[in-house]
Structure 1
């Protein structure tokens, strides 16, 4: 059997591309073709592509108190689901032009939770929904002191209304198990913390 990744972006032929919506985000329609695994060529087909910039997400963690900070805020995309559309999430923000993910992490930590990260450890980069969106998430765990954390945050001109919660690490893990946390970035980061918690508590308190 052939190994994975026999094709690359250069194998995709875009016959036509047009912008069908331009607002805060952009939607493009593409007519394209690419080779098939069986050696034939895919007939020209269309796809809509949601053009969204990259974002950075951070799980704030206090290794001494073994606590994390989670942000509660309204999310329109969850409005028609059974669970409340007020979700528990990570510190997060869109990457602006010229900003590194680490710079975004520090900016959003201040704006959304009043936190400054003394260390940032990379967890991973992942594509949110590559079937129809360009967005990449840069995911981190950041060291904080949670003793005085928590409260209300967010930028009024961006219509943000955020409550920062301090949560025991064990409780955050239970929230994934019982479904109270149901967004990808938080699930990935908290499960990563579960795997790396002992190491972080040793290294970050040294």
Structure 2
């Protein structure tokens, strides 16, 4: 057994939804004892850092029910079955912002909440943005407002906690360190 590895003994599926599934695993611990783990299974997601030729960050504001408030975020969305991360990134960019690009650069991938969820977010930088000829329709239950902000405006939104999620905080650090925004 690998150091600290927990071996699954039994899995109970609790809920299977449109976005997530919940399961409870009985696990064998490295010391031979057993425990339970409540786990959220997620197909994975992408997040896009869209920077205009003028050096503005394209963001969306939307209501987040889990927090009971609106947040300003970089565009993002979940992977669909059979869809790779780059394909998802291009689709989500167009659906949420109305922009397209031929210049999509992989930045990184990270786990959002490894203590209880297996979601991995793949982050892409999108530059050389062009307005799509006809915007793809987004999800029927998704309402977003498009924003194009300077680095200074985004940093103020972060101080005001209008930007309050990890992927967007990461994006702001990334564009600042790379000197991609004005």
The correspondence of residues 81-92 of structure 1 with structure 2, limited to 5 A, is 85-92=69-76
* Aligned residue in 1 for 2:154: 172
Checking the alignment, whether the CA contact within 8 Å between 1:173 and 1:191 is kept in structure 2 is: no
Which aligned pairs between 1:48-59 and structure 2 lie closer than 5 A?
A: 48-59=38-49
Number of corresponding residues:
178
| Matching residue of 1:107 | 91
Which residue of 5, 11, 14 maps to 1:17? Answer: 11
Q: Which residue of 1 aligns with 2:169?
A: 187
Matches within 5 A, 1:1-206: 7=3, 11-24=5-18, 25-35=20-30, 41-62=31-52, 64-79=53-68, 85-145=69-129, 155=138, 157=140, 159-197=141-179
Deviation at 1:16, TM superposition (A): 0.9
Contact 2:104/2:125, CA 8 A, preserved across alignment? yes
Q: Unpaired runs of 5+ in structure 1?
A: 1-5, 36-40, 80-84, 202-206
How far apart are the structure 2 equivalents of 1:70 and 1:14? 40
CA distance in 2, matches of 1:71, 1:60: 11
Note the C-alpha offset of 1:123. Answer: 2.2
- Consecutive unaligned residues in structure 2, runs of 5 or more: none
Q: What is the Cα deviation at residue 47 of structure 1?
A: 1.1
Distance 2:163 2:150 in 1: 14
1:79-135 C-alpha deviation (Å, 9 max, x unpaired): 1xxxxx111011111112222211111101111110112312222111111111110
**d(CA) in 1 for partners of 2:71, 2:128:** 22
Higher share of residues assigned helix? 1
Partners of 2:67 and 2:35 in 1: how far apart? Answer: 31
Larger strand fraction of residues: 2
Looking at structure 2, the residues matched to 97 and 49 of structure 1 have their Cα atoms a distance apart, in angstroms, of 20
| Compared CA separation, residues 154 and 166, structure 1 to 2 (3 A) | farther
Provide TM-score, normalisation by structure 1.
0.78
Q: Which runs of 4+ in 1 moved over 3 A?
A: none
Structure 2 residue matching 1:59: 3-state secondary structure: strand
Root-mean-square deviation (Å): 2.4
